[in-house]
Structure 1
Amino acid sequence: MVARFVGKPAAILFGMGYATNSAIIPALIGKGGLIISDAFNHNSIVNGARGSGASIQVFQHNNPKHLEDVLREQIAAGQPRINRPWKKIIVIVEGIYSMEGELCKLPEIIAVCKKYKVYTYVDEAHSIGAVGKTGRGVCELLGVDPADVDIMMGTFTKSFGSYGGYIAASKEIICHLKHTCPAHIYATSMSPPAVQQVISAIKVILGEDGSNRGAKKLAQIRENSNFFRSELQKMGFEVLGDNDSPVMPIMLYNPAKIPAFSRECLRQHVAVVVVAFPATPLLLCRARICISASHSREDLVKGLEVIGKVGDLVGIKYLQVEA
């Protein structure tokens, strides 16, 4: 069902989203290989890359031009000291960056990867089930053929309301992972209720439950996200990310404003998630709002009222708003 949903020939499930990245990457590449990773990739990708034994290069966040520069340089130089060609090169990006709310420039990155004949790995933890006309993630939203992405990774902890993660790829890659990946061989599998939750969620999204609830929810999350983002910007908050993205970070910057913003919001009955070092650089702390289809307009307006008042109180409306 997962393979059909994302448009790949086969898929494999794991009992933990974080472990899907950190355990899969070492099973795909090792010594003599090269991983080229976006600068803002999630910690699970960073740990998976480090644990693989492969060489690692980082390219500037969401910058296809710099990715091409890194690729050209690395292909020309080859492996360190011995200068032999790399055994394998994998470029790893995310669909929606979890701390930026920003969509990946996937079409441009895929074009670069095709030009240099390297593999692509896309982490869709925050985009699968949330963006695209039928909820199939960034490939659908940006018009990318899933066949052009070698490894499609996602988690069930966001849009599907369950836990665990998946890898969707060719049958050969999935067969290889079943025989070599420790997160499949040694770890516990997903529990039956968690699996049923995912199956039910996918059926709702695809309309296979006999209703149009899925289409309504996808339209609602898009409408909610764009409304909330535009209202925050009108109030003078510095909000990261792109339209249609349900992840919207509000920049706080000053570390002292993290507890001030969080506690004052909570005092007014709105719970917010604040993110600080080491998840973000020390002076780039933020509050991360994640919008869902279940938020009513009343919920959003109430949240905006409180966030607006607290923003004035703690001084985080950094943008000048035209009168």
Structure 2
Amino acid sequence: MGYVTNSAIIPALIGKGGLIVSDSLNHNSIVNGSRFSGATIKVFKHNNPAHLEHVLREQIAGGQHHTHKPWKKIIVIMEGIYSMEGEMCNLPGIMDVCKKYKAFTYLDEAHSIGAIGKTGRGVCELMGVDPADVDIMMGTFTKSFGSCGGYIAASKEIIHHLKHACPAHIYATSISPPAAQQVISAMKVILGEDGSNRGAKKLARIRENGNFFRLELKKMGFEVLGDNGSPVMPIMLYNPAKMPAFSRECLRKNVAVCTIAYPATPLLLARARICISASHSREDLIKGLEVISKVGDLVGVKYCPVEEKKTTSVKKLKKFQ
């Protein structure tokens, strides 16, 4: 799936004598793939083009460790939407720096493809970046496409190389025909090539659902990370002891939430991650908000002060039905 795609593809792209410059909040699959490659790894501050430029300039000037020879290859890796933060990549700024220093770019769109952009084409479409400028675009078929496996989109030369160099392609079993057809069918729906406007409606619905849910959580006093338009919204719990309490109390009220803690996040930055779907009805969202609000009060995780006039109540929520 997406994890194997990153962890197997990156070592096939770069090795000893190469340099990987990775966003500090990149997914564990990218971290492990980078480590497996044998390349030198440097980290730049999350979504910070200025610090990326500082790292690139310093590394290009110094060259390889000990020998100071030029790097054989430099790849900058980032995500479209960061899975634990809900933030979108500052793609235009990062691309400008990579072009300036002639570094290759690798974009993980696991959470952004099929979910953002006018026609669902992801962060490039949303931010006006030509996809042809991104050397390697990676994604998973397990989220927006409802199937299994992962993909790499790149030039013919890169794909040809990966077909002969990536062990996950050479030795692993291919996805089944029904799984492949599911991906093709989902793409046709998203792009409107199925002869209907279902895809456009779903894209509008996921944006509407996400922005509604995020706004209401903030009104309740929760600290919510991420950008408007992102379907991923982490609710900060912080205290590790409050994480299981929050999860279990929500489950007792028939709402299942995904809680994230160490080692997926730093020890004192535990959170509940909400991933909004186009399939969620307004009734689903309101029910979730009602339960999360009650449990938030019980557990004590509403960290942000709320003005009286902005306080969300059950009665106010029901007017959206």
> TM-score scaled to structure 1, two decimals?
0.95
**Deviation sequence 1:112-157 (CA, Å, 0-9, x none):** 0000000000000000000000000000011100011000000011
Counterpart AA for 1:112 = V
Deviation at 1:174, TM superposition (A): 0.3
Deviation at 1:193, TM superposition (A): 1.1
Q: Does 1:213 align with 2:198?
A: yes
Match in the other structure for 2:314: none
**Deviation sequence 1:213-269 (CA, Å, 0-9, x none):** 000000000000000000000000000000000000000000010111000000011
Q: Does 1:99 align with 2:92?
A: no
Instruction: Could you list the structure 1 runs, at least 4 aligned residues long, displaced by more than 2 angstroms after superposition.
Output: none
Q: Please, which of 47, 57, 61 is the counterpart of residue 72 of structure 1?
A: 57
Q: Separation in 2 of the partners of 1:209 and 1:76? A: 52
Match in the other structure for 2:101: 116
Match in the other structure for 2:294: 309
Match in the other structure for 1:165: 150
Q: Separation in 1 of the partners of 2:147 and 2:3? A: 14
Counterpart AA for 1:243 = N
Identity of aligned residues (%): 83
Match in the other structure for 2:72: 87
Superposed, 1:168-247 pairs within 5 Å as: 168-247=153-232
Deviation at 1:281, TM superposition (A): 0.4
Q: Separation in 2 of the partners of 1:227 and 1:120? A: 33
Q: Separation in 1 of the partners of 2:270 and 2:25? A: 14
Match in the other structure for 2:313: none
What SS does structure 2 have at the residue aligned with 1:91?
Answer: strand
Deviation at 1:192, TM superposition (A): 1.0
Q: Relative contact order (alpha carbons < 8 A, sep ≥ 6): 1 or 2 greater? A: 1
Q: Separation in 2 of the partners of 1:109 and 1:63? A: 8
Structure 1 residue ranges without an equivalent (≥5): 1-15
Counterpart AA for 1:23 = A
> TM-score scaled to structure 2, two decimals?
0.95
What SS does structure 2 have at the residue aligned with 1:31?
Answer: coil
Q: Does 1:143 align with 2:128?
A: yes
Structure 2 residue ranges without an equivalent (≥5): 309-321
Let me know the Cα RMSD of the aligned residues.
0.5
Match in the other structure for 2:26: 41
